[in-house]
Amino acid sequence: MYLKREFIVRHPIVVFTVGIAVGMCLIKIFSTPAAIDPFDTYTAQQSSYGTDTASHNELIDDAASDREVVSHDHLYDNTSLSDQLKREVRVLCWVMTNPSNHKKKARHVKRTWGKRCNILLFMSSAADEELPTVKLDVEEGRPNLWRKVKEAFKYVYKHHYNDADWFYKADDDTYAVIENLRYMLYPYSPETPVHFGFKFKTFVKQGYMSGGAGYVLSKEALRRFVVDGIPDPKMCLPGTVINEDIEIGKCMENLNVTAGDSRDVNGRGRMFPFAPEQMLIPNKDPNFWYWNYLYYKTDDGLDCCSDNAISFHYVPPSLMYVLDYLIYHLNPFGVIRAQRLPAKLKVGEFLPAPKEETANSNEDSMDDYDRLGKTATNKTQTAPDAREVD
Ligand SMILES: *[C@@H]1O[C@H](CO)[C@@H](O)[C@H](O)[C@H]1NC(C)=O
Ligand SMILES: *[C@@H]1O[C@H](CO)[C@@H](O)[C@H](O)[C@H]1NC(C)=O
Ligand SMILES: *[C@@H]1O[C@H](CO)[C@@H](O)[C@H](O)[C@H]1NC(C)=O
């Protein structure tokens, strides 16, 4: 393992080739058109079935499909904290997929972020030995998504209720940093009725979680959903519709399962319904539906996103490998961040909301250009920004 790294370092050709490959990926990523058709995206956001906005990476993705991407471990890393979290905050991940995506998308989830879950399940309507899949008795197609979500959680409750503390649903084009999911959940009791995700403020009074960013249910939330919710038409919609995320959001509210706040202490988001570059370099068009749907206002640039971000959506397979490299391998020499775990909360207790002003004033991710912009314009004197309309 260690030798492999030595080999790479000592062979300029390898470094050059890897450099070109990563460079090409980055060019591809950053050449994504910033503007996304709102309606297309909104529907696509509901599932992994939509005409995906991420098809710009098709060529690279096809090449990535059949070959295993060679990886290596870092045997000398100190992982004692993340090992502790893996034991204490057990996360079952289940990934919504379908037969045509098994090879195109789902297998890349398994080879990248999915392997870090305590338990990883792929929910589909067809068997696949490589993943493997849980073969649910539902028809494929977007109108069946709500039924599929219900069947998936019923399966999880029946077979794995005691094997995990938290239950995370993601799509096959979601990318998640499971260590950071565990870190966010660490203070909470799994017996607290709560779920977390990227929160939208429309359709459901307490907000509902974007399907694409994925949402995580506490053990108690899962129990309420399967035992008290699904069988009761007054709690959860029977039958099926496309918008699984809105429906489970309504259902959670009826079951008194709190819509948790997934932002970090600085008020920066951790779970996102778009790919990283779309969050970092935001679309300023105030007519873009997103700005009117989000529950918490978000800041621009690096202030958009927590240093402990958890999930992104519309991530094509090639970007999954790039993110895996950037997050788990590339490391600026000599920089080690101090990390410690927060105190635990009691059942039913929640962390206080982050203070709004800290997000913009936090020095560690503000550069001089930002500072200039912030002091030169008094926000209240300029036209209101759609994101600040509540
Ligand atoms: C690894 O990190 C933990 C805490 O993060 C620390 O207590 C321990 O001493 C470290 N181990 C080594 C070998 O550095
Ligand atoms: C939810 O809470 C309300 C108010 O406390 C209560 O009236 C209702 O019975 C609860 N519903 C469920 C399903 O627990
Ligand atoms: C900005 O606007 C607020 C609210 O109207 C006002 O109290 C404050 O003095 C203004 N600051 C500057 C620097 O103009």
Question: Considering the chain, what percentage of its residues have pLDDT values greater than 90?
Answer: 63
| Nearest partner of 227 among 124, 157, 315, judged by Cα | 157
The pLDDT of 206-219, averaged and rounded, is 97
The model's pTM: 0.77
DSSP letters of 4-65? HHHHHHH-HHHHHHHHHHHHHHHHHHHTS-S---HHHHHHHHT-S-S--TTGGGHHHHHHHH
pLDDT tens across 337-387, in order? 888 899 999 999 999 998 764 444 444 433 333 333 333 333 333 333 333
Please report the pLDDT score of residue 337 as a whole number: 84
How far apart are the CA of 382 and the centre of ligand 3, in A? 11
The dihedral sign for the CA sequence 143, 145, 151, 154: negative
pLDDT tens across 131-141, in order? 999 999 999 99
Ligand 3 shell residues, CB under 6 Å: 378, 380
Query: For residue 228, which atom of ligand 2 is closest to its CA?
Result: 13
Q: Which ligand is nearest to the CA of 377?
A: 3
| pLDDT: which is higher, 169 or 280 | 169
Please report the pLDDT score of residue 373 as a whole number: 33
Q: Reply yes or no on whether the pLDDT at 50 is more than 90.
A: no
Query: For residue 380, which atom of ligand 3 is closest to its CA?
Result: 2
CA 251 to chain centre: 21
- Residue type at 108? H
Q: Whose CA is nearest to atom 5 of ligand 2?
A: 256
CB under 8 Å to 125, separation ≥6 — which residues?
A: 98, 99, 135, 136, 137, 138, 139, 140
Per the listing, tokens 């009117």 go with 292
Please report the pLDDT score of residue 389 as a whole number: 30
CATH dotted code for 79-355:
3.90.550
Q: Reply yes or no on whether the pLDDT at 163 is more than 70.
A: yes
Neighbour count for residue 232 (Cβ, 10 Å): 13
Task: Quote the longest CA-to-CA distance of the chain.
Answer: 65
How open is the CA angle 154-293-371, to the nearest 5 degrees? Answer: 125
Ligand 1 shell residues, CB under 6 Å: 78, 80-81
DSSP letter (8 states) at residue 32: S
Q: Reply yes or no on whether the pLDDT at 55 is more than 90.
A: no
Please report the pLDDT score of residue 317 as a whole number: 95
The pLDDT confidence band at residue 77, using thresholds 50, 70 and 90, is confident
| pLDDT: which is higher, 68 or 165 | 165
The pLDDT confidence band at residue 26, using thresholds 50, 70 and 90, is very low
Phi-psi map region of 228: left, alpha, beta (phi>0 left; psi -120 to 50 alpha): alpha
Please report the pLDDT score of residue 8 as a whole number: 39
| Number of Cα atoms under 13 Å in the Cβ half of residue 197 | 35
CB under 8 Å to 51, separation ≥6 — which residues?
A: 40, 44
SS3 312: strand
State the Cα–Cα distance between residues 172 and 114, nearest whole angstrom: 10
DSSP letter (8 states) at residue 342: P
Q: Which ligand is nearest to the CA of 382?
A: 3
The pLDDT of 149-155, averaged and rounded, is 98
pLDDT tens across 240-288, in order? 999 999 999 999 999 999 999 999 999 999 999 999 998 898 777 778 8
Report residue 362 as tokens: 């936090």
- Residue type at 305? C
Please report the pLDDT score of residue 85 as a whole number: 97
Residues facing residue 170 across a β-bridge: 95
